[in-house]
A and B are shown apart, each in its own frame.
Chain A
Amino acid sequence: MTTQLASGAVGRGFGDRLILAATIALAIVMVIPMLWAVGLSLKTNQELLVDTQSVLKAPWTLINYYDILIGSGVFRWLLNSIIVSTGMSLGVLVLSSLAGYGFARLEFPGRNVIFVLVLFGLAIPEQAVILVRHQLFSDLDLHNTYAGLMLPGMSAPFGVFLMTQYFKAIPTEIDEAAMLDNASRFKIFWRVLLPMTLPAQATLGIFTFLHAWNDYWWPMVSGTNQQMYTLTVGIASTQQNFAESAGLGYLMAQAVFASLPVLIVYMFFQKYIVRAVSGAAT
């Protein structure tokens, strides 16, 4: 028995070590390109034009970051990205929660048909609708406005689907108990059920925020005024032609800079993000 336990422990230990080693190896593979990008961002463009391996040798410089901070409207673009990402996330949470509750709990004519129609949205790629959407926003004079940047992302079939499924998973007895206590339907939604969906809200909110933060295409064609650029579009606009060779250090500094806010968010909210992602997976 003792021998079996010991061998089991050794086996588990070896297996654990193997998994740990594999995880470390994979982590290194993932991290190296990022470290390489950071390294390139700390070299001058002139040095990198001649030799990219110079990243491994001193001197290093912050000149590329200085150029970004001084030479572009990056703070305005950062503000725009924060407004758009936050606004879109809030909008998605509000609309998806309401819609999810409606589909899960309310009886109304055509509910199933409408739900299927919403789900069709999951199958329609953005590319297929962007022309008509652009025209629609043009007719409504919404381009180069925050509303124009946020509204398309607020139509979130995935969010509606997620929230519907989450509300469905909550036993209806809870609603009935609240009704016995004379609670209105809105109060049941607002006070009883909504707090129970917080894990799903966190998942949806984080995913929507990251999607909005990284989005490039719609902000590029809708926010064409430089004052309305988001961070992704703004930083791309500062690239000089042939930046991949003549301005490599600056290019990498921009990539690092653009990822910093999300990295900071991740550092502070790591626990919640991991929980949200694992929650989405289960």
Chain B
Amino acid sequence: MIRPIAILLSCLALTSCGVQQPPNEIVVQRFFGTCNAQYGTRTDVAAAEGECGIMTTLINKFSAENPDVRVRVSPVAWPGYNQLAAQLAAGDPPDLVTMHLSSIPDYQSRALIEPLGKDLRAVGVDPQGFTAASSAGVNIQGDVFGLPIDNWAPLWHINMNYFRQAGLVKDGKPILPRSPEELLEHARRFKAATGKPYLVQTLAIERASYARNLYTLLMQQNATIFPDPQHIHLQSPEAKRVVDLFRQIYVEDLTTKNLDYAASTNAFINGAGGVFIVGTWLIGDFEAESRRADRPLSNGYTVRPFPQLYAARDATYIDGHAWVMPAKERTPQQRDAVFRLLKFFADNDFEWSRTGHLPAYQAVIDSERFNALPHRREIAKLSATGMTLPASVQRQFPVADIVGEEMSAAITGHKTVDAALADAEHRINDLLFHVL
């Protein structure tokens, strides 16, 4: 018995050795998956496709152009915040991390990420060049806490073949509703003409889509969603109007039901409805589908920003991705390498925008080559109309989850709209009270 114990203890001692980070190495932690089989060593960014492909080739290209820097990429399962929190607690965070704009306040408020403004300017990245939406996401208390990578927003992906059938096309463009009443009227007309629901929605399992819709339509009514960083205001006529609208759409079968994210994506491609409300990232897939013959989307796909249903303001809830730099001690070489890499990403923002996401830089939005990409001209205005939640609001991910749960309960009839909004408000305020 002594021998196995001794062997075990020896093994534990041997396996307790840590790994030191070389002085010229930076650790880049990101989501977007791995695709090394296809892009492992490739550096031709322009030929790469998709988030993973473009991100991988970008980093490969940087490494090839900067042989004095060693970039160690650490992919994490989306969104990777549990791992990051653990690393920060252990005092061993990576040098750069991908982060949603909506999550930056959680880390900035605890001084866990470093301000970047001064150093970005020093390497030639001017934060004034960020789009308004991107800038709002990374600017907190007068400094820049991340290099924005992109913005994304809920879009209306449209089956134009069905829209034509329903008489909802004019001059080759989709006729979109300009009020909640018009939305219902279009949806009823659409259903009568095609026999299909007007909306394809992700109503099962995923909660974020509910929150995006609610935030967007509250913003369009100029409603104050967060009167202060610790309180959400959902027991309002504006919020009730929005939830009532989606409840009505549900009750009249003007939407697909019980579909999760994958099923709703599948359903839209296979012609289950007219409008799929989902983010920027599927433009490429739907565009490719529209070029295939004899398919529901054949020569009949377009995409538009969320239509303005309320007169007060043209606005869409927007989020995005950014690079942030966790606070930790770095060698001058590592610090220099981090900012060279950030500068490289800033210079290559157009390549990233080929994923479907909106560029983070106004110059790219305005560029010919961006507007020459399929459908980008139609959604470019989001860089101005897109709105983030206030940067002072923390825990935006769990807040969206609660909003989604309660909206789902109200829309499917498990709760009254008033009760769901009251519960959402109470739960979120309780959450925010305890974290601040």
Closest Cβ–Cβ distance, residue A152 to chain B (whole Å) = 13
Residue of A nearest to B286 (CB): A49
B residues in contact with A247, CB < 8 Å: 33
| Residues B36 and A50 in contact, CB atoms below 8 Å apart | no
| Residues B269 and A50 in contact, CB atoms below 8 Å apart | yes
Q: Please report the total number of B residues contacting A with Cβ < 8 Å.
A: 52
| Residues B33 and A239 in contact, CB atoms below 8 Å apart | yes
| Residues A241 and B33 in contact, CB atoms below 8 Å apart | yes
Q: How far is the CA of A237 from the CA of B295 in the complex (A)?
A: 34
Q: How far is the CA of A221 from the CA of B87 in the complex (A)?
A: 7
Q: Please report the total number of A residues contacting B with Cβ < 8 Å.
A: 54
Contact of B89 among A87, A134, A150, A245 (CB under 8 A): A134
| Residues B15 and A143 in contact, CB atoms below 8 Å apart | no
| Residues B33 and A142 in contact, CB atoms below 8 Å apart | no
B residues in contact with A225, CB < 8 Å: 19, 74
Looking at B11, B17, B82, B90, which has the most chain A CB atoms within 10 Å of its CB?
A: B90
Cβ of A189 within 8 Å of any chain B Cβ, yes or no, is: yes
Please encode chain B, from 43 to 69, with 1 for each CB lying within 8 Å of some chain A CB and 0 for all others. 000000011100000000000000000
Q: How far is the CA of A94 from the CA of B16 in the complex (A)?
A: 20
Q: When A134-B86, A145-B16 are in contact, do A237 and B266 touch as well, CB less than 8 Å?
A: no
Q: How far is the CA of A52 from the CA of B262 in the complex (A)?
A: 10
Q: Among A24-32, A64-72, A113-121, A199-207, which stretch is in contact with chain B?
A: A64-72
Q: When A90-B4, A90-B8, A233-B77 are in contact, do A241 and B266 touch as well, CB less than 8 Å?
A: no
A-facing residues in B253-283 (Cβ within 8 Å): 260-262, 265-266, 269-270, 281-282
Q: When A145-B15, A147-B12, A241-B31 are in contact, do A220 and B262 touch as well, CB less than 8 Å?
A: no
Cβ of A138 within 8 Å of any chain B Cβ, yes or no, is: yes
Q: When A49-B269, A143-B92, A237-B77 are in contact, do A224 and B18 touch as well, CB less than 8 Å?
A: no
B residues in contact with A194, CB < 8 Å: 1
Contact of A50 among B83, B91, B270 (CB under 8 A): B270
Closest Cβ–Cβ distance, residue B308 to chain A (whole Å) = 27
A residues in contact with B83, CB < 8 Å: 220-221, 224
Cβ of A81 within 8 Å of any chain B Cβ, yes or no, is: no
Cβ of B37 within 8 Å of any chain A Cβ, yes or no, is: yes
Cβ of B140 within 8 Å of any chain A Cβ, yes or no, is: no
| Residues A236 and B38 in contact, CB atoms below 8 Å apart | no
Contact of A145 among B17, B38, B73, B265 (CB under 8 A): B17
Q: How far is the CA of A71 from the CA of B51 in the complex (A)?
A: 16
Cβ of B76 within 8 Å of any chain A Cβ, yes or no, is: yes
Q: How far is the CA of A50 from the CA of B405 in the complex (A)?
A: 28
B residues in contact with A238, CB < 8 Å: 33-34, 75
Contact of B18 among A49, A144, A221, A243 (CB under 8 A): A144
Please encode chain A, from 119 to 161, with 1 for each CB lying within 8 Å of some chain B CB and 0 for all others. 0000000000000001101100111111110110000000000
Given A143-B86, A220-B83, A237-B34, 10 additional A-B pairs, CB 8 A: A70-B37, A146-B15, A151-B12, A221-B85, A239-B33, A240-B33, A240-B35, A241-B32, A245-B261, A245-B266
Chain A residues with a Cβ under 8 A of chain B: 49-52, 66-67, 70-72, 83, 87, 90-91, 94, 98, 134-135, 137-138, 141-148, 150-151, 186, 189-190, 194, 220-222, 224-227, 233, 236-248
Q: List 25 A-B contacts (CB under 8 A).
A: A51-B266, A67-B35, A67-B38, A71-B37, A90-B8, A94-B5, A134-B89, A135-B89, A138-B89, A138-B90, A142-B16, A143-B18, A143-B86, A144-B92, A194-B1, A220-B82, A226-B72, A227-B19, A238-B33, A238-B34, A239-B33, A241-B78, A244-B260, A244-B262, A246-B50
List the 3 closest A-B pairs by CB distance, nearest first. A240-B33, A146-B15, A71-B37
Chain B residues with a Cβ under 8 A of chain A: 1, 4-5, 8, 11-13, 15-19, 31-38, 40, 50-52, 72-78, 82-83, 85-87, 89-92, 260-262, 265-266, 269-270, 281-282, 285, 289, 295
